[in-house]
Amino acid sequence: MLGAGIPLFGICFGNQILGRALGLSTYKMVFGHRGINIPVVDHATGRVAVTAQNHGFALQGEAGQSFATPFGPAVVSHTCANDGVVEGVKLVDGRAFSVQYHPEAAAGPHDAEYLFDQFVELMAGEGR
């Protein structure tokens, strides 16, 4: 899919799958993220969303880290405000992105609904 340029939006385990496809490693967290009140920073906007999460594994990386992939440059796009765990990655050209949390869950007043708008724009060819 990545090689063909098909738009991709990974959610939850999809974040780990995309991260692995882009060359990042995963690890078992000492304490997983479980609950409906996990703050996540979107490094492109600086916004913090209160998210719903249930995961015990994560991608290895740092906030805002850029890295080379076979599909072009990528970046760690989201991290947990509590502990710095990677919560999202994306290709810089925008055709593939993912988040570790559940943006559809609307866990707080600043939910992550905007991610679905970004994906619709990407599928319509406006996000490139």
92 part of a folded domain: yes
Can you tell me the distance from the alpha carbon of 17 to that of 70, in angstroms, rounded to the nearest whole number?
15
pLDDT number for residue 21: 96
Whether residue 27 is contained in a domain is answered as yes
Q: Is residue 3 part of a domain?
A: no
DSSP code at position 114 = H
In angstroms, the CA 54 to CA 126 distance is 32
Residue 107 placed within a domain: yes
- Quick: pLDDT tens for 53-80: 999 999 999 998 999 999 999 999 999 9
Report the domain count for the chain: 1
Closest CA to 119 of 9, 45, 25, 2: 9
Residues of the chain scoring pLDDT < 70: 105-112, 126-128
pLDDT at residue 5, as a whole number:
84
Are 109 and 51 within 8 A, CB to CB? no
The enclosing domain of 12 has a CATH number of 3.40.50.880
Q: Per the residue annotation, which of 43, 104, 110, 121 is the catalytic one?
A: 104
- 86-to-1, 54, 57 alpha-carbon distances in Å: 23, 14, 10
87, 32 contact by CB (below 8 A): no
What's the pTM value of the predicted model, to 2 decimals? 0.83
Q: Is residue 128 part of a domain?
A: no
Q: Six-digit token pair at 4?
A: 């063909």
Residue 109 · residue 50 · CB < 8 Å: yes
For position 75, what pLDDT does the model report? Answer: 98
Short-list 32, 114, 40, CA closest to 78: 40
Task: Give a yes or no: residue 2 inside a domain.
Answer: no
pLDDT for the residue numbered 102: 87
Which one from 33, 55, 78, 102 is the annotated catalytic residue? Answer: 102
Does 87 qualify as catalytic in the annotation?
no
> Is residue 102 among the annotated active site residues?
yes
- Asked, for residue 79, whether it belongs to a domain, the answer is yes
Is 12 tagged catalytic? yes
Q: Which of the residues 12, 55, 80, 87 is marked catalytic? A: 12
At 72, phi and psi to the nearest 5? Answer: 110, 175
Range of the domain at 37: 8-123
Which pLDDT value is given to residue 127? Answer: 54
33 in a structural domain: yes
